[in-house]
Amino acid sequence: MKNIFSAAAAYTAAIVGAGFASGQEVVGFFVRYGKMSVFGIIFAAVIFGLFAAVVLDECVTLNIRDYKGFLGISMGTGLCRAVELATLFFAVVVLCVMLAAGGELGFQLFGIRRTIGALTLALFCLVMMLVRPESSLRLNAVFGGIIVLGCIVCTLYLLRYREHQAFLNTAKMIVSGASYTGYNLLTAGAILVPMSAKLKTRSDAYLTGFASGFAMLVMLLLMWGLLSIYYDQINLGEMPMITMALRESRLLAGFYSALMLLAVLTTVASNGIGAINIISEKTSRRFAAAVLIAAVCFFVSGAGFSRLIDTLYRVSGYAGILLVFYIFFRHFRMRAQKRK
């Protein structure tokens, strides 16, 4: 059970980056579509959990320990390379958004110039790409548990002391939910595969998927409920959850900002490792590749936090959901053939 919850926490931490923790993703992909967007949230949580279960199940059953081996189960060489490149591209996109989030967080709370915050995170990213992946994943598991509990407690507290009660009434949901899961899961396979070493059976894989999917569902529903109340009532800003916390007290804002910083660090570590592992298979110059990734992410992060989420994330999401459903199709086809 310890290994199951450790893997679930590390996976959840990789998904819950600054975009989610800040509330910007929840507003952009769900809240703006009104009450019916709750179905998009349920859809997203189910896909998150099922994806983890399917990937870990295949890795445990077939004793796979690297992402290239996982992709190569039924993909041709050309398709495998295309997916690897897409995964690498989006890992870099996520790093850009996390660096922009770090700059925005430092500016809102301490008045630090956004470039200084982004540069600090870029250096952290460089370090994490050069340390042992096992150490980073263990740290992510610990931080993941803290992030989940902290987000739930803070959101419940803010819901208890809400000021407004109003919801929108439009109804566009599943497509936005699919895009949301797609871009989050585009790089998740590269993060999940190494975690399978901790699991022993198919039941472990599915319990890990259930635990992570349930955690995401609870956090999404609570944050969606809170931000829906205030949407169109006040200016939620670049980081809606920080705005909500500041309205309550500086102490709560400081606590939630610490959770956001953990979310940024865990996502930077996960995606940095995923990106450098893919590149390392093509070249032995790991340090040079890590410096290049960190530099590119730092400069692109200057485009701004919410702008990057609403453009690069949304476009990448449609590519990601195609990969997710292909993996689902491949998995259940393999199971059907095995039973036959």
Alpha helices in the chain (DSSP H): 2-15, 18-21, 24-29, 38-62, 67-71, 77-110, 114-130, 133-160, 174-185, 188-195, 202-230, 240-248, 250-280, 286-300, 305-308, 314-339
Please tell me which of 162-166, 301-305, 324-328 the model is most confident about, judged by mean pLDDT: 324-328
Selected from 1.10.4160.10, 3.30.450.40, 3.20.20.70, 3.30.9.10, the CATH number assigned to the domain covering 2-332 reads 1.10.4160.10
Better pLDDT: 316 or 51: 51
Q: Are 273 and 10 in contact (CB under 8 A)?
A: no
pLDDT at 164 over 50: no
pLDDT digits (tens, 9 = 90+) for 9-38: 888 877 776 667 778 778 877 887 777 788
DSSP states of 173-216 as a string?
-HHHHHHHHHHHHTTHHHHHHHHGGG--SHHHHHHHHHHHHHHH
pLDDT digits (tens, 9 = 90+) for 126-154: 887 777 666 666 777 777 788 888 888 88
Confidence of residue 178 (pLDDT cuts 50, 70, 90): low
Taking phi over 0 as left and psi of -120 to 50 as alpha, with beta for the rest, 237 belongs to left
pLDDT digits (tens, 9 = 90+) for 95-116: 887 888 778 777 776 778 888 8
Confidence of residue 165 (pLDDT cuts 50, 70, 90): very low
What pLDDT is attached to residue 128?
A: 78
Nearest 5°: the CA angle 273, 323, 35 is 100
- In percent, the amount of the chain with pLDDT more than 70 equals 82
Query: What residue segments make up the domains of the chain, in order of their start?
Result: 2-332
Q: How far apart are CA 233 and CA 162, in angstroms?
A: 12
pTM of the model: 0.75
pLDDT digits (tens, 9 = 90+) for 52-97: 999 888 888 888 877 777 877 767 677 777 777 878 887 887 788 7
